[in-house]
């Protein structure tokens, strides 16, 4: 590690790759309500966070594990469909808590077209939250519903059943044939709409 009279050690959270302090500074100055979305190896987490001088306050949150526990979701908890459903769930809760609009906070994630973070944001927008996403973002409705997964599963089941069972073992274990993912997505979305009213 470099040392010397002119060397300045970065803040711990910056060294760990957890916080971009310049972006954080801009958010603090704007005092904007933020839609914070984080995607881990297993889950999608979405929160509405308001600035407070003593520390940020989380107004509402949604976690993709809730999809499985409360609404019967049998798909993966970190795929595109789960990201959209988690965002939609958060959007409904935000509206109920009186939050009309927010700005998207993606942390240190590099913005990429078609990424799960933007599909989670799309879910929040579809639930009625005002969120400036820009004109360039395009969303594939079939991808949201999991049609690409169902199509691949159908093809794989006929061509290589052994590989099908290996790749989709999680789905099959949870009692969902991946070919039925589109219908299952719609069913869970309807449960979220009625359950969160």
DSSP three-state, residue 60: strand
Q: According to the model, what pLDDT value does residue 2 have?
A: 59
**Can you give the pTM of this predicted structure?**
0.89
CB atoms near residue 7 (< 10 Å):
8
CB atoms near residue 155 (< 10 Å):
12
In the chain, domain spans: 17-195
Question: Is the separation of the CB atoms in 36 and 51 below 8 Å?
Answer: no
Q: According to the model, what pLDDT value does residue 11 have?
A: 85
Residue 63 β-bridge partners? 45
b/e code 16-53 from CB counts within 10 Å (16+ = b)? eeeeeeeeeeebeeeebbbbbbbbeeebbbbbbbeeee
Q: How confident is the model at residue 136 (pLDDT cuts 50, 70, 90)?
A: confident
Lowest mean pLDDT among 5-19, 36-50, 168-182: 5-19
How would you class 173 by CB atoms within 10 Å of its CB: exposed for 0-12, middle for 13-18, buried for 19 or more? exposed
Q: According to the model, what pLDDT value does residue 193 have?
A: 94
d(Cα 56, Cα 59) in Å, to the nearest integer? 10
With the CA atoms of 168, 169, 175 and 181 taken in that order, what torsion angle do they form, in degrees rounded to the nearest 10?
A: -10
Q: According to the model, what pLDDT value does residue 1 have?
A: 55
Q: According to the model, what pLDDT value does residue 140 have?
A: 93
DSSP three-state, residue 16: coil
d(Cα 95, Cα 112) in Å, to the nearest integer? 27
The pair of structure tokens assigned to 98 is 């009186």
Provide the percentage of residues in the chain whose pLDDT is more than 90.
71
> pLDDT tens across 118-132, in order?
999 999 999 999 999
Residue 101 β-bridge partners? 130
Checking if the pLDDT of 26 tops 90, the result is no
Residue 47 β-bridge partners? 36, 61
d(Cα 190, Cα 197) in Å, to the nearest integer? 11
> pLDDT tens across 31-66, in order?
889 999 999 999 999 999 998 888 889 999 999 999
Q: According to the model, what pLDDT value does residue 135 have?
A: 79
Topology, domain 17-195: Nucleotidyltransferase; domain 5 (3.30.420)
> pLDDT tens across 71-109, in order?
999 999 999 999 999 999 999 999 999 999 999 998 888
The pair of structure tokens assigned to 22 is 């310049």
């Amino acid at each position: 590690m470099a040392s010397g009279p002119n060397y300045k050690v970065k803040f711990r959270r910056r060294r760990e790759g957890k916080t971009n302090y310049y972006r954080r500074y801009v958010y603090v100055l704007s005092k904007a309500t933020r839609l914070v979305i984080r995607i881990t190896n297993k889950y999608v987490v979405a929160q509405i966070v308001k600035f407070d001088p003593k520390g940020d306050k989380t107004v509402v949150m949604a976690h993709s594990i809730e999809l499985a526990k409360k609404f019967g979701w049998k798909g993966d908890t970190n795929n595109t469909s789960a990201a959209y459903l988690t965002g939609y769930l958060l959007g409904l809760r935000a509206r109920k808590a009186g939050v009309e609009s927010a700005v998207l906070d993606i942390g240190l994630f590099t913005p990429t077209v078609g990424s799960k973070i933007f599909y989670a944001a799309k879910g929040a927008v579809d639930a009625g939250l005002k969120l400036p996403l820009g004109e360039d973002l395009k969303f594939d409705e079939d991808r949201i519903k999991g049609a690409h997964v169902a199509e691949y599963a159908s093809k794989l089941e006929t061509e290589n059943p052994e590989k099908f069972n290996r790749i989709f073992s999680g789905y099959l274990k949870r009692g969902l044939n991946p070919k039925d993912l589109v219908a299952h997505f719609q069913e869970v979305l309807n449960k979220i709409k009625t359950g969160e009213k």
